[in-house]
Structure 1
């Protein structure tokens, strides 16, 4: 009984082979004896699948013969590419070929693998030296990793092929394409072949299985419509599964759409009479499902469908985007060094509507003559797409939908213009970005994208953009790392009013302005009266206006500007305000002085310097320059026209946000971003000068050293040096002190934590001590004992020492010549720079005159370490 059953199963399996001369290959054996070619480069894996296992990069080809039965033959096979296919890693399945050398044979084959993210199968005929593309599959269906498909190919007639697919790898086939073949190359003694082209990393990633070739039988089936697509508001394109009798196919009464009616006209679109265009008098409604009914359609063999059949179709109107529909949502201008993203620039677009939008004819550029143009692409409602150079498309496949573009703009790291236009050259969206939009120096160095935070307020420019907080530096193809849909309801606020010259006034606001209200002269009034000639909105930032006057401003006269009815870009009105302006004066020596410096910031932090206006004049930064001649002998312009008011401070840093976060006890409105010279951690020189048309005029200079810090500090990283009084001479160590711990070791834009007033009230005394207690705990209160001198003669030598009550020397403060108005500081340390104990001490001062006479003083000093 067992033998009979086993024999029956064998006969059943071999019936296709014996009856039709065809075969089935499921790779159940452990060898490839029936195959020829590079068989040593393939194995049968544990799942009984054919698996490429090549030793190195290259090409491998194997084939197996079978007997071709002419028409009505069906080929089935399974392909699993464990990677996203490309032009370097592709497969060809030669399902019908006449010899085992693909280079010289006649063959029909399927190819998978191409450049970009539009991978699809392609159906080729190769007749000797001519290779002809006969058809292809759905774009993008084989761009995934892995790329999987089970194919079913049927040769219906000499001139038609049917291709069915299941992209899940199962056997639920869907008709995908009718292939027309007017060449009809006849092949009798046929072979089935597999060709793998691969790089080193893909040499074992090609898998095949379930190859089946069989005779399909005689055609007795009525024709069917296999696809119906609304190609416009009143046209439907239909595709039959075989060539149709022309007479029956062109009868309008054989087709109808309920609620729409019969078509007005029908035209056929190809030589095999299988594709037709139906035109109706009524229009379809977008996003509504319809049924096309058809009957009495006859194929060329006389098979007819007398009963009504139906096929659904849906009309989706594809619209051209208008302003606000399609937005620049994210971009990566500086991809190196990468923290997780590909080192390739990208621009991300988002469809903010519930409409399908047509991209054909759109372009993206950096404002130059070269534009990257979109081809026949569509973006779905609320879809996000990534745009990048066409050669780098594969880099972003894993992140989402990608469109590779020729002439993709090269985005400048420091700042650039990105503009999206329609086919009529009208602007759909635009941004002008700067690297100042980044929040940290690390982000500024590269690897981080900039993201749009509010799609409802794109007119806000830089105020709705921020660097990505994603761990990999960006979110291409995905929702941005931070988004909000809060709509601003507050009017613009004036930040600065600056006379650029006697003829021009610049006003800076906190947000992007409405161009019409911002440039309306009626919204500005100046007193004493100055008529306005014109007003320009600065195009890139759009939050600054320049007022051009008909008559000049006068020096030393204060003017009041009244602003009213000015709107931001979404229509919020500012309250009416008055602001004062005055022409700045030209600074003189010692008008502007150095007041604070951070030259050794914490890791990831930024240097900063602080300037103090030591005069009673209004001064401008416009022509100010900084230099560190100890490092590099060149001048760096402070690129800012901000005014500095009498007896106020202004800090300069290369990264404003970082400085504000590191030093919260600061005034952010008095901290400006500017290029700074290199400030060495050990020592350096800072020079401040004003350029007066032809030459530099010195304002202040000093040479700092790290030894100027409080000697009791073991670490000085992240601690600024503050001048104890802005008006004191900058180039003396005793006039500087480490910033207090109480204000987080820095006070940019504010009065210094270690400020000491000029305390010489008694002009007759040769010296004075502000207080006789020193509390050396860096809390900003009595951290240092300061002795200020007011000597009657030049040339004094000083011997200043600290003793304990037992008479032992604790600290030698100075044994040098001393200036008439010098300061000597004691920080509560001994001669080994160790803190002394709390208690009472004696300050011993000996002043030696140039003629040798001496003056001896003693003071009681208290140290409080608590």
Structure 2
């Protein structure tokens, strides 16, 4: 506790030039004999402070009389509330009252405690039944736990009060308010009173000390300007420390700013004769320090400052934001369930410039007709502000600067459009988000914000947004959890060119485009010639354009589109490119084949499947459906119009971003985000079909099983199954192998790590081996012994076995019928699915035909288990 020094007080009392002390209460005694009221509810604690000690929730009031004979009187007192004040737990300090019952008297008092997190002190006059708010302190200064303040209140004149405070509890007072009191209620036989209103948990949390009341003496000090603020490019708002004589205060020759001159006019703004507006003919330069000089100013007591005094001020120009100045920096669309943030949606804006920006007239919306409009708000250079519904403003006060807005957009959890516009309805920033931007299912369920990672590349859409890694789910009002400032100097890149029909072509780019260049027909040329009717930028994403043609595309003709001079949203120009398009064909049976599947991802991971275009045709994904009849008897449409070119791959992932990060050996341009059927971790089926308006037409199908994985693997979670050759039939176990660990166990969009080419180069041999040495370590090189057959007759039964050099049977590979063109694999395991030792082994092959013929072959095999 801060004590006023006793020695200082003794000197203060002995020196008449300072007036004489009426009352100095430091609670050094162990009793409250001078006080009356609910004294039994208070104690003097071991720090010699007055401490509330009530038996239960309620209200307690005590008071003490003093004489008030001089208008120049000063009150000082210390308040320590060991909690964040509220409307249920508040204190009133009646520093000047004329009766002991505060509900029925004339009194001046300070109140601390209100609803929300904006607590401040409020200065009231209660005159009989009327309670009038005369002034207030700085918003939020008394909203913390604990809330501490030392007050100094000076009655400067009959009509003005000067309030000084020290929120640290010390005696380093700072001027806070000069309050006009036109009522000027006179009270001579006065009381000083304390009223505590409290709940059960706060009944002992109110502490007071150092109550000092004294006459200030006769005012002999000349007035001073205590604040000067440039409110426009040629106006200053000034405030004196006391009421001023109007005649001297309105004389323009009493003020000057070097290099600017005297003001042209002065306007009196305050009933307390202390606040004035000075207007000049010359304009101030932004961010330059000026000094206002003044003299010959007289207060109401006749005190005049004859010598020139000065006070500095700076003009900061407030500008209207242009595109790129103000960005959407973070937002919370699904606040429930909370992991630490308030369960209230918010949108965060960041000023990326060194300018002060005016938000007046700006609006934020989800693209609908209803807009949340800003009033007279200012955002400082590099400042972050939190926008939320006006009724929920208090929820985010502790996080930073908050602007509450009426008509705040309700953001859809699964995806929505956020658009920021200026007063002219021009777009300043926008984003179309999806819950697919989250990385885990837990994040999708709510409580996590999405954050912009690079303010210099805000055009990049999903690629510069990621879920917050903050432990509370977001960083409102603070720097984002992951940021980088790599400058974007690259023009837009074409990702896809897709004929939507004979009349329409869609072009998809990797970032948001400049609308003027993207819709300019001169930037597009089609050969063989097709004239362009119009070009539209798809509004929700702004990285796709649709070209409408005047004449149709013709089947089986390839067209070249030349693109040039197309800009991204910050002005980077793309290089001139040519791209080929043609109308796609309808897929037939086995045109598309299953090629890879991840059905048992790691915890937090996501499923994916891969298809391969086994034809020489350009095929569209339009009207393709997937099902898993082993689990659910329903079809899931591949909602994408992407084309798949001959002999290329395309992966479909439930979470593209997660798949790319989990499997770096991948091609992100050939991975699409798509819903998939539920895939069981043990076994299931995958069916790919084309819907021809009335029925589903089978394209490819197979039933997978976890036992198809390499038997030497003890754990298969997070490991995909790859087809060893994309052209092989899908529904055979021997055509599948576990992905190599060298490529992190998955290759979505790329040729499989376990790819085996059709290696028979001697068509007259009944079988061939790809290699006679195997190293079964899942590195993608010689992991398996592959035996390919080209039999002369159908109906053979094979007995394929591995023996060691001692003649002991190690592994029975197969004892079954075999097709004329077939193959089988040995993974280097024994009959107990244990890896064999390094060394030499014998492959024994016996082919038996129903016609009685029998063929017997042996091969030397080497196993290297390094």
Q: Deviations 1:468-527 (Å, cap 9, x if unpaired)?
A: 555665443344455555543333332222211111112222333333332222222222
Deviation at 1:130, TM superposition (A): 3.0
Q: Sort the Cα spacing of 1:306 and 1:755 in 2 relative to 1 into closer, same or farther, 3 A.
A: closer
Contact 1:289 1:315 in 2 (8 A): yes
Q: Sort the Cα spacing of 1:482 and 1:816 in 2 relative to 1 into closer, same or farther, 3 A.
A: closer
**Which stretch of structure 1 is more off in the superposition, 35-44 or 231-240?**
35-44
Q: Sort the Cα spacing of 1:386 and 1:765 in 2 relative to 1 into closer, same or farther, 3 A.
A: same
Contact 2:388 2:408 in 1 (8 A): yes
Q: Deviations 1:111-148 (Å, cap 9, x if unpaired)?
A: 33445565432211233443221112334444566544
Q: Sort the Cα spacing of 1:797 and 1:398 in 2 relative to 1 into closer, same or farther, 3 A.
A: same
1:828 maps to which residue? 828
TM-score normalised to the size of structure 1?
0.87
**Which stretch of structure 1 is more off in the superposition, 767-776 or 563-572?**
767-776
Contact 2:417 2:433 in 1 (8 A): yes
Q: Sort the Cα spacing of 1:632 and 1:92 in 2 relative to 1 into closer, same or farther, 3 A.
A: farther
Deviation at 1:578, TM superposition (A): 1.9
Q: Deviations 1:756-794 (Å, cap 9, x if unpaired)?
A: 334566777776655555543323334333455567777
Q: Sort the Cα spacing of 1:505 and 1:840 in 2 relative to 1 into closer, same or farther, 3 A.
A: same
- Distance in 1 (alpha carbons) for counterparts of 2:463 and 2:5: 80
Deviation at 1:181, TM superposition (A): 2.3
Contact 1:492 1:573 in 2 (8 A): yes
Deviation at 1:207, TM superposition (A): 4.2
Q: Sort the Cα spacing of 1:821 and 1:144 in 2 relative to 1 into closer, same or farther, 3 A.
A: same
Q: Sort the Cα spacing of 1:795 and 1:80 in 2 relative to 1 into closer, same or farther, 3 A.
A: farther
Q: How does 1:570-585 map to 2 (within 5 A)?
A: 570-585=570-585
Secondary structure of the 2:103 match is coil
- Distance in 2 (alpha carbons) for counterparts of 1:588 and 1:4: 94
Deviation at 1:431, TM superposition (A): 2.7
Contact 1:337 1:343 in 2 (8 A): yes
Contact 1:497 1:506 in 2 (8 A): yes
- Distance in 1 (alpha carbons) for counterparts of 2:503 and 2:6: 105
Contact 2:19 2:216 in 1 (8 A): no
- RMSD value over aligned CA atoms? 4.4
Contact 1:67 1:190 in 2 (8 A): yes
Q: Which 5+ residue runs of structure 1 have no aligned equivalent?
A: none
Deviation at 1:15, TM superposition (A): 10
Q: Sort the Cα spacing of 1:697 and 1:382 in 2 relative to 1 into closer, same or farther, 3 A.
A: same
Q: Sort the Cα spacing of 1:58 and 1:809 in 2 relative to 1 into closer, same or farther, 3 A.
A: farther
Q: Sort the Cα spacing of 1:829 and 1:66 in 2 relative to 1 into closer, same or farther, 3 A.
A: same
**Which stretch of structure 1 is more off in the superposition, 174-183 or 808-817?**
808-817
Contact 2:96 2:192 in 1 (8 A): yes
Residue 38 (str. 1) matches residue 38 (str. 2): yes
**Which stretch of structure 1 is more off in the superposition, 539-548 or 641-650?**
539-548
Contact 1:518 1:545 in 2 (8 A): yes
Deviation at 1:586, TM superposition (A): 0.3
Deviation at 1:592, TM superposition (A): 0.8
Q: Sort the Cα spacing of 1:759 and 1:487 in 2 relative to 1 into closer, same or farther, 3 A.
A: closer
Q: Sort the Cα spacing of 1:460 and 1:40 in 2 relative to 1 into closer, same or farther, 3 A.
A: farther
**Which stretch of structure 1 is more off in the superposition, 503-512 or 611-620?**
503-512
Q: Sort the Cα spacing of 1:331 and 1:9 in 2 relative to 1 into closer, same or farther, 3 A.
A: closer
Q: Sort the Cα spacing of 1:98 and 1:850 in 2 relative to 1 into closer, same or farther, 3 A.
A: farther
Deviation at 1:566, TM superposition (A): 2.7
Q: Sort the Cα spacing of 1:121 and 1:768 in 2 relative to 1 into closer, same or farther, 3 A.
A: same
Q: Sort the Cα spacing of 1:367 and 1:197 in 2 relative to 1 into closer, same or farther, 3 A.
A: farther
1:105 maps to which residue? 105
2:20 maps to which residue? 20
2:775 maps to which residue? 775
Q: Sort the Cα spacing of 1:8 and 1:862 in 2 relative to 1 into closer, same or farther, 3 A.
A: closer
Q: Sort the Cα spacing of 1:386 and 1:81 in 2 relative to 1 into closer, same or farther, 3 A.
A: farther
Q: Which 5+ residue runs of structure 2 have no aligned equivalent?
A: none
Secondary structure of the 2:157 match is coil
Contact 1:21 1:67 in 2 (8 A): no
Deviation at 1:189, TM superposition (A): 4.6
- Distance in 2 (alpha carbons) for counterparts of 1:54 and 1:388: 40
- Distance in 1 (alpha carbons) for counterparts of 2:100 and 2:17: 21
Contact 1:399 1:476 in 2 (8 A): yes
Contact 1:535 1:545 in 2 (8 A): yes
Secondary structure of the 1:783 match is coil
- Distance in 1 (alpha carbons) for counterparts of 2:863 and 2:455: 61
- Distance in 2 (alpha carbons) for counterparts of 1:288 and 1:3: 43
- Distance in 1 (alpha carbons) for counterparts of 2:9 and 2:782: 102
**Which stretch of structure 1 is more off in the superposition, 762-771 or 401-410?**
762-771
Q: Sort the Cα spacing of 1:15 and 1:49 in 2 relative to 1 into closer, same or farther, 3 A.
A: farther
Deviation at 1:591, TM superposition (A): 1.0
Q: Deviations 1:425-463 (Å, cap 9, x if unpaired)?
A: 443333333344456666555555444444455455455
Deviation at 1:348, TM superposition (A): 2.6
- Distance in 1 (alpha carbons) for counterparts of 2:381 and 2:79: 33
Contact 1:21 1:66 in 2 (8 A): no
Q: Sort the Cα spacing of 1:127 and 1:732 in 2 relative to 1 into closer, same or farther, 3 A.
A: farther
Secondary structure of the 1:462 match is helix
Deviation at 1:597, TM superposition (A): 0.9
Q: Deviations 1:47-97 (Å, cap 9, x if unpaired)?
A: 444455678877665544444446332211223445655556544323233
Deviation at 1:212, TM superposition (A): 1.3
Secondary structure of the 1:570 match is coil
Secondary structure of the 2:15 match is helix
Q: Sort the Cα spacing of 1:185 and 1:833 in 2 relative to 1 into closer, same or farther, 3 A.
A: same
Q: Sort the Cα spacing of 1:354 and 1:858 in 2 relative to 1 into closer, same or farther, 3 A.
A: closer
**Which stretch of structure 1 is more off in the superposition, 35-44 or 178-187?**
35-44
**Which stretch of structure 1 is more off in the superposition, 737-746 or 165-174?**
165-174
Q: Sort the Cα spacing of 1:473 and 1:204 in 2 relative to 1 into closer, same or farther, 3 A.
A: farther
**Which stretch of structure 1 is more off in the superposition, 73-82 or 848-857?**
848-857
2:460 maps to which residue? 460
Contact 2:179 2:272 in 1 (8 A): no
- Distance in 2 (alpha carbons) for counterparts of 1:303 and 1:242: 11
Q: Sort the Cα spacing of 1:32 and 1:682 in 2 relative to 1 into closer, same or farther, 3 A.
A: farther
**Which stretch of structure 1 is more off in the superposition, 180-189 or 747-756?**
180-189
Q: Sort the Cα spacing of 1:117 and 1:261 in 2 relative to 1 into closer, same or farther, 3 A.
A: farther
Residue 690 (str. 1) matches residue 674 (str. 2): no
Contact 1:723 1:754 in 2 (8 A): yes
Residue 337 (str. 1) matches residue 342 (str. 2): no
Contact 1:16 1:23 in 2 (8 A): no
Q: Deviations 1:685-720 (Å, cap 9, x if unpaired)?
A: 212122223332221122212111122211111211
**Which stretch of structure 1 is more off in the superposition, 852-861 or 634-643?**
852-861
- Distance in 2 (alpha carbons) for counterparts of 1:584 and 1:788: 35
Contact 1:116 1:390 in 2 (8 A): no
Q: Sort the Cα spacing of 1:41 and 1:440 in 2 relative to 1 into closer, same or farther, 3 A.
A: farther
- Distance in 2 (alpha carbons) for counterparts of 1:839 and 1:315: 85
Deviation at 1:631, TM superposition (A): 2.8
Aligned residues: 866
